Structure 1
Amino acid sequence: MANNHHSDHESRVAVLVDCDNTTPEILEYALRVVAQFGRVVLRRGYGNHNTLANKWQEALVKLAFTPCLQYQYAAGKNTSDIALALDAMEALFDRRADTFCLVTSDSDFAYLCRKLRERGATVHIVGEAKSPDALRNASDQFFEWVRPEPAAVAQPKGPSKTEVVKPDPAKPAPKLRPMFVVDAVALLAADTSEGKVSVGGLGSYLKRADPSFSPKVYGHSGLLDMLKTYELLKVQQEAGGHWTVRLTN
């Protein structure tokens, strides 16, 4: 089964972040979401000096974003909004990007979304629950980020611990089953009529979401071998010989 997000022409995605209006914790979620739509070619974070030099610096460096510093020339004026909007339109006209992901909860960007879509671009928004309807409805798809409960993060054992465990090369690698693989299948299969995704399409998505991803790190010879160990997933070989995977429930 072909994943309906993929075609011969792979979309070029620009991820533009309104750092003054949202939190750094949203960024990894945004990248996981947009990895299904194509190759991320632009990663930029816009904000004033106070925002970029403090809470956002670590997240932007870790996730390879270019910081776009905007000085506040007058109190109460948000120059970052204008810089983000101009860069988005320029990237569209230069054909550097045809899909845009705006990370913001600010309704001021609704007009930019409409202009981009009028020109044929696809626009996704990743925002918080506070995002107004005017912003949500201006996009092709709105993804709401929910802040994780502190209690869930503090648990000593769980999927988050499993994900970061890397085996000692001197010992036989344990077969680990990180939860993000199940999350990826759920995300990709949700947009399909049959509720399943090709194993090849899943592999491409996982690589885009995390360029260092490899089943061998988790003790598996390959992705198909890895998927077969999950109780939450069901893999099957289709008539054409290719493999697909779906959630068991």
Structure 2
Amino acid sequence: MTSEFQGNERRVAVLVDCDNTTPEILEYALRVVAQFGRVVIRRGYGNHSTLANKWQEALVRLAFTPCLQYQYASGKNTADIALALDAIEVLFDEMVDAFCVVTSDSDFAYLCRKLRERGAIVYIVGEEKTPDALRNATDQFFEFQPPEAAPAKDQSKSITKKQKPKMLRSAVALLITESPEGWVGLGALGNYLRRSDPGFTPKKFGHSGLLEMVKTYTDLSTKFEGGTHWVTLKEST
């Protein structure tokens, strides 16, 4: 898919599973997708009690279209089916290039896989409880932390010792084999890590950014050239 709207600006649909998450996640989701393109579709799906009570203020304020689905039988979530069908319809009508599905429900993993098979980019904004089956079905996963939980997490994880996962070194070793010069750009390295693990972020390992993270590895070298940071393996002596 290629965007015909405002040059090559990516068009994004934000589809929210209101029965599965809380209104506080909406503003975070919009901040996340703002870096990828222009949001042209905003829809929130849920039953009457969900949309009319805790979600009404947030949906109105942030200009989301409420998509009301009545429960025809106890235990049946018709809102999930409506969200999935609308996503497929939007895809085939070529209204967007990317989807941001706001949910932690692994039932949407199959939808994400089908959207990606058809060429769409898929992001998930979910909570810590989101299963790996859903995280790994997307191009990139973003974890929302409720405001009250953020300080505790910062003190226990972000301020503790910085981690050096082996996957980063392995990624550098793999990517430099494809480069005649034996170096990989920091941006290309970051893209590869996110494709390998949609939930990857340096902050998860206690680092402020990828460059700072790379510099903690004693067996990796960096240089700045041509306006880009480059990474390679140090030669063994």
Partner residue of 2:160? Answer: none
Deviation, 1:32, is 0.1
Q: Does 1:131 align with 2:130?
A: yes
Instruction: Return the letter of the residue paired with 2:112.
Output: C
Question: CA offsets, 1:101-158, max 9 Å, x none?
Answer: 0000000000000000000000000000000000000000000001112797xxxxxx
Other-structure match for 2:165: none
Hey, what's the Cα distance between the residues in 2 that align with 1:120 and 1:132? 24
Name the structure 2 match of 1:42: 41
1:85-96 to 2 correspondence within 5 Å? Answer: 85-96=84-95
* Counterpart for residue 143 of structure 2: 144
CA offset digits 1:194-246 (Å, max 9, x no partner): 99xxxxxxxxxxxxxxxxxxxxxxxxxxxxxxxxxxxxxxxxxxx99xxxxxx
- Secondary structure of residue in 1 paired with 2:73: coil
Q: Which residue in 2 is equivalent to 1:110? A: 109
Equivalence for 1:188: none
Q: Does 1:76 align with 2:75?
A: yes
Letter in 2 for 1:75: S
Q: Go from structure 1 to structure 2 and tell me whether the alpha carbon gap of 1:193 and 1:115 turns closer, same or farther (over 3 Å shift).
A: closer
Shift in alpha-carbon separation, 1:70–1:151, aligned structure 2, 3 A: closer
Percent identity reads 80
Task: Tell me: CA distance 1:150–1:75, structure 2 relative to 1, closer, same or farther (3 Å).
Answer: same
Instruction: Name 1:25's counterpart in structure 2.
Output: 24
Q: Which runs of 5+ in 2 are unaligned?
A: 1-5, 152-185, 191-225, 228-237
Q: Which amino acid aligns with 2:54?
A: K
Is it true that 1:54 corresponds to 2:53 in the alignment? yes
Which secondary structure state, in structure 2, belongs to the residue aligned with residue 46 of structure 1?
Answer: strand
Alignment of 1:100-249 (within 5 A): 100-149=99-148, 192=187
Distance 1:50 1:122 in 2: 32
TM-score, normalised by the number of residues in structure 2: 0.61
Are the structure 2 counterparts of residues 40 and 151 from structure 1 closer, same or farther at C-alpha, using a change threshold of 3 Å?
closer
- How has the CA–CA distance of structure 1 residues 151 and 134 changed in structure 2, closer, same or farther, with 3 Å as cutoff? closer
Q: What RMSD in Å do the two structures reach over aligned CA positions?
A: 2.3
Q: Tell me how far apart the structure 2 counterparts of residues 43 and 72 of structure 1 sit (CA, whole Å).
A: 22
Aligned pair count? 153
Which residue is 1:214 aligned to?
A: none
Decide whether aligned partners of structure 1 residues 90 and 129 sit closer, same or farther in structure 2, where only a CA change above 3 A counts.
Answer: same
TM-score (norm 1): 0.58
Letter in 2 for 1:101: C
Aligned structure 1 segments of 4 or more residues deviating by more than 4 angstroms: none
Amino acid at match of 1:89: I
SS, match of residue 14 in structure 1:
strand
Deviation of the 1:8 alpha carbon: 4.5
- Structure 1, residues 149-184: CA drift from partner, whole Å, max 9, x if none? 2797xxxxxxxxxxxxxxxxxxxxxxxxxxxxxxxx
Q: Offset at 1:78?
A: 0.4
Structure 1 position 61, deviation (Å): 0.5
In structure 2, relative to structure 1, the CA distance for the partners of 1:13 and 1:151 (3 Å cut) is: closer
CA-CA distance at 1:98 after TM superposition: 1.2
Structure-2 separation of matches of 1:193 and 1:102: 25
- 1:192 CA displacement: 3.8
